[in-house]
């Protein structure tokens, strides 16, 4: 105010350069020290400076400590499935090929590996042995955060032991140290689809309440061991995947004649209780822990403006919101209780469950976003897209990836807004990306402009949600920052990475890592905190 008051008495409006103005800062407080000929240009300069500052603020919408990075999951990148005392998990018996979907859906029972199938997760991209090289590459891109998951059966090989496996704990200790030495914050998914096979065979996976104790013991082991190395935790990856792929997501095989919905909602309740207990325990072990839930998100559009379509799309979204409603608001929403009651599904509430869920809600909400969804109440409208666990109609306004996943950047802004409106808690985009076929040149270099375009458009939409809509966003980790095994198809060919890995669908290749064009692009995005999108 003082400066402006004095400067108002000046005569000319020729602006000073920013450097000149910087030099004047101190002397401006003392009117007599400001030379008359310099004063003449100051008013305009002050205006110019405030304009520049305003522009800077506007073009720097993301928080300074925005967590840019990438995401992977143990079962899709680690390999080393029998090393360091690791036990067999549900994700290890999921083969590549036509049997993968039926196994993942809990319709085809294959509890052991055989010679007829190829199991891509057994070696994956061998990150178990190569994590130092991979983390160095992430650091070169400037990652602030690396989202990874712990393989449950490395820590508790059978799942029901009373003491953790030291070799498994040591592996992640070293891996976290490697991240921290590079200034990368680890973001840890406690359970990314994996369930020790012993628990699948003996108690039927998450259909049993006993799983809650095993999971909490596992959480206690990792929370205690890594309490000074890890701050951000996610209790379950894509917790809603259980509705579509119950074996892959929760180790559940649906026996013949069983009421599949009853089995699923029983398991879901167990997971929700386990998630609340983990949140309670984590906050006790380290009050600074930030513990989040994780949803496979993407809003559902109505096919037409017919109220039946609108009503259906609202309800389809509620199937998914249901999980976060419990994890973030702390109680079963009335619409879900009513529906479950109508369908004759009993939620196995035990004494104290309701109070527990209410008292231990998550700190933030994370989600994956690949696509929006489309639904119609008209059974005649049934042109579905391919290859997506979340069955959806083809949206005529959208293009699709080679795997039929529809590309909708604005849908990301819609999803961010919908989640923020509903929960008013910080959000975290922990998966987003394009699965595409890459064609490397003779040096294994890939010019993946299509991936850059996809990511650029999604990041723009994300920035709009923050800048224009005021969504509170903690960070963005693009999925499969290094090529890895596809969860749905088991392919290597469906690549998401900034780093090419020489390996094919049948398991051939040198596993050599090569930077793609998008590697250099993402590095600039991070460096400029999202200002330089190329």
Q: Which is nearer to ligand BG6, 86 or 494 (CB)?
A: 494
Query: What x-and-dash track marks residues 237-266 binding ligand BG6 by CB under 6 A?
Result: xx----------------------------
* DSSP-assigned beta bridge partners for residue 373: 300
Closest residue by beta carbon to ligand BG6: 488
Residue pair 303/393 in contact by the 8 Å Cβ criterion: yes
Residues 405-434 interacting with ligand BG6 (rule: CB under 6 A): 431
Q: Which is nearer to ligand BG6, 61 or 104 (CB)?
A: 104
Q: Which is nearer to ligand BG6, 371 or 376 (CB)?
A: 371
> What 3-state DSSP class applies to 513?
strand
Residue pair 45/20 in contact by the 8 Å Cβ criterion: yes
| Shortest spacing between CB 71 and ligand BG6, in angstroms | 8
Q: Give just the sign of the alpha carbon dihedral 489, 240, 360, 355.
A: negative
Place of tokens 């991240």: 179
Residues 492-511 interacting with ligand BG6 (rule: CB under 6 A): 494
Q: Count of alpha carbons within 13 Å of 272, Cβ hemisphere only?
A: 32
| Shortest spacing between CB 477 and ligand BG6, in angstroms | 11
Does residue 491 carry a catalytic annotation?
A: no
Query: What x-and-dash track marks residues 465-494 binding ligand BG6 by CB under 6 A?
Result: --------------x------xxxx----x
Among 87, 251, 435, 475, binds ligand BG6 (CB under 6 A): 435
Does residue 238 carry a catalytic annotation?
A: yes
Residues 39-98 interacting with ligand BG6 (rule: CB under 6 A): 73, 76
Nearest to 216 by CA among 149, 287, 292, 164: 164
Query: What x-and-dash track marks residues 171-190 binding ligand BG6 by CB under 6 A?
Result: --------------------
CA 138 to chain centre: 17
Q: How would you classify the pairing of strands 406-407 and 399-400?
A: antiparallel
Rg of the chain, C-alpha, whole Å: 26
| Shortest spacing between CB 49 and ligand BG6, in angstroms | 46
Other residues' Cβ atoms within 10 Å of the Cβ of residue 99: 15
| Shortest spacing between CB 496 and ligand BG6, in angstroms | 7
Alpha helices (H) in 70-195, listed in sequence order: 74-77, 100-104, 127-141, 152-155, 166-181
- Catalytic entry in 78, 185, 271, 431: 431
- Alpha-carbon separation of residue 458 from 370, 371, 413 (angstroms): 10, 10, 8
Q: Which is nearer to ligand BG6, 276 or 436 (CB)?
A: 436
Q: Rounded CA gap, 95 and 38, in Å?
A: 76
Q: Which is nearer to ligand BG6, 119 or 332 (CB)?
A: 119
- Catalytic entry in 238, 255, 351, 467: 238
Q: Is 309 an interacting residue with respect to ligand BG6 (CB under 6 A)?
A: no
Helix, strand, coil % over all residues of the chain, rounded to 5:
45, 15, 40
**Positions marked active-site:** 238, 431
Q: Which residues bind ligand BG6 (CB under 6 A)?
A: 73, 76, 237-238, 296, 368, 431, 435, 479, 486-489, 494
């Amino acid at each position: 105010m003082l400066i402006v008051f004095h400067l108002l008495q000046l005569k000319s409006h020729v602006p000073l350069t920013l450097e000149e103005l910087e030099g004047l800062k101190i002397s401006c407080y003392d009117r007599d020290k400001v030379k008359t000929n310099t004063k003449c240009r100051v008013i305009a300069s002050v205006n110019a400076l405030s304009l520049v500052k305003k522009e800077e603020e506007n073009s720097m919408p993301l928080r300074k400590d925005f967590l840019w990075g990438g995401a992977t999951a143990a079962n899709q990148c680690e390999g080393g499935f029998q090393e360091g005392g690791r036990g067999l998990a549900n994700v290890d018996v999921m083969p590549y090929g036509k049997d993968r979907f039926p196994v993942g859906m809990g319709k085809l029972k294959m509890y052991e590996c055989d010679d007829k199938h190829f199991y891509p997760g057994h070696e994956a991209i061998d990150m178990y042995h190569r994590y130092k090289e991979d983390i160095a590459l992430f650091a070169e891109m400037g990652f602030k955060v690396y989202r990874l998951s712990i393989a449950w059966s490395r820590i508790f090989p059978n799942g029901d032991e009373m003491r953790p496996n030291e070799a498994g704990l040591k592996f992640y200790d070293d891996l976290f140290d490697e991240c921290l030495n590079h200034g990368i914050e680890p973001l840890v998914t406690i359970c990314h689809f994996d369930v020790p096979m012993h628990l699948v065979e003996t108690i039927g996976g998450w259909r049993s309440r006993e799983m809650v104790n095993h999971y909490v013991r596992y959480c206690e082991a990792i929370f205690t061991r890594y309490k000074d190395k890890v701050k951000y935790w996610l209790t379950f990856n894509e917790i809603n995947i259980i509705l579509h792929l119950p074996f892959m997501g929760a180790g559940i095989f649906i026996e013949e004649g069983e009421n599949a919905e009853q089995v699923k909602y029983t398991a879901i309740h167990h997971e929700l209780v386990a998630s609340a207990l983990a949140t309670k325990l984590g906050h006790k072990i380290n009050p600074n822990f930030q513990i989040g839930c994780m949803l496979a998100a993407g809003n559902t559009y109505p096919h037409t403006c017919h109220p039946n379509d609108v009503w259906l799309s609202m309800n389809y979204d509620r199937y998914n919101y249901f999980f976060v409603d419990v994890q973030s608001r702390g109680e079963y929403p009335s619409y879900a209780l009513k529906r479950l009651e109508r369908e004759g599904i009993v939620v196995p509430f035990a004494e104290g469950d309701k109070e527990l869920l209410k008292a231990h809600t998550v700190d933030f909400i994370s989600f994956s976003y690949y696509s929006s969804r489309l639904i119609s109440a008209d059974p005649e409208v049934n042109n579905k897209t391919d290859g997506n666990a979340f069955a959806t109609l083809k949206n005529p306004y959208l293009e699709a990836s080679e795997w039929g996943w529809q590309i909708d950047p604005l849908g990301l802004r819609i999803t961010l807004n919908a989640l923020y409106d509903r929960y008013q808690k910080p959000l975290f985009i922990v998966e987003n990306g394009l699965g595409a076929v890459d064609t490397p040149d003779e040096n294994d270099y890939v010019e993946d402009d299509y991936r850059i375009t996809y990511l650029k458009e999604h990041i723009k939409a994300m920035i709009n949600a923050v800048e224009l809509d005021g969504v509170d966003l903690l960070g963005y980790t693009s999925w499969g920052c290094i090529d890895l095994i596809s969860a749905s198809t088991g392919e290597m060919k469906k690549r998401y990475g900034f780093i090419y890995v020489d390996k094919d669908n049948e398991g051939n290749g040198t596993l050599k890592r090569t930077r793609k064009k998008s590697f250099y692009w993402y590095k600039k995005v991070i460096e400029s905190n999202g200002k330089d999108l190329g």
